[in-house]
Amino acid sequence: METRDDEEQFFPHGAVAFFVLFVALCLVIWYGIYFLMLART
C-alpha cells in the first residue's frame, strides 16, 4: 500500500525528539546509580 499522494511526506521528527529525551533519561538514571555505587566502594 503506497502512501497516498495527498498525504504529505511524514518525517517523525517529534518521535526523534522524544527518543533523544528517552536516551537522555536512560543515561541519567543509569549514571545516577553508577555514581552511587562508586561512592559506596
Partner 1 sequence: MKISNSLKRVIILELSIPVALLILGIYHGLMQTIYRAGILHQTSFLKLEYYQGLTLHGVINALVLTTFFAVAFGHATIAFYLKKEPDRRWTWISFWLMVAGAVLAAWAMLAGKASVLYTFYPPLKAHPFFYLGAALLIVGSWIPLFNWARIYVAWKKDNKENKTPLAVIGTLVNFIVWFVCTLAVAYEVLVLLLPWAMGFTTAVNVTLARTLFWFFGHALVYFWLLPAYIMFYTMLPKLAGGKLYSDLAGRIAFFSFLIYSIPVGVHHQFSDPSISRGIKFFQGFLTYGVAIPSFITAFTIAASLEYAGRQRGAKGWFGWMVKLPYLDPDRYLFAYLISGLILFIFGGLTGIVNASYSLNNVVHNTAWIPGHFHMTVAGPVFLAIIGMSTYLYSKTAGKRVFLPKLNVIIPYLWSIGVLIFSTGLMWGGLIGEPRRTNLGMTYLNRDNPLFHPEWVPTTTLALCGGIIMFIAGMMFILVFFGTLFSKRKEEAILELPVSEVYHDEKRIPLFDKFQPWLVIMAVIIVLAYTPAVINATQNPGPGAPPFTPDSPVPIVTEKTK
Partner 2 sequence: MAVLDKYERRVLISLGATVALFIFSILYAKGRYKSDVPECLPFNKAYTEPKVNKIDSTTYQVFAVAQMWQFQPAEIYVPVGSVVDFFLTSKDVVHGFDIAEKNANMMAVYGNINKTTVKFEKPGVYNITCHEYCGIGHQNMQARVIVNYPEQ
Determine the residue type at 25.
L
- Pick from 18, 26, 29, 32 the residue near partner 2 by CB under 8 A: 26
Angle, CA 5 vertex, CA 4 and CA 11 arms, to 5°: 80
How far apart are CB 5 and partner 1 at their closest, in Å?
15
Angle at CA of residue 16, ends 15 and 20, nearest 5°: 115
Q: Which of partner 1, partner 2, none does residue 33 bind (CB under 5 to 8 Å by kind)?
A: partner 1
**What is the contact surface with partner 1 in residues (CB under 8 A)?**
1-3, 10, 12-19, 22, 25-26, 29-30, 33-34, 36-37, 40
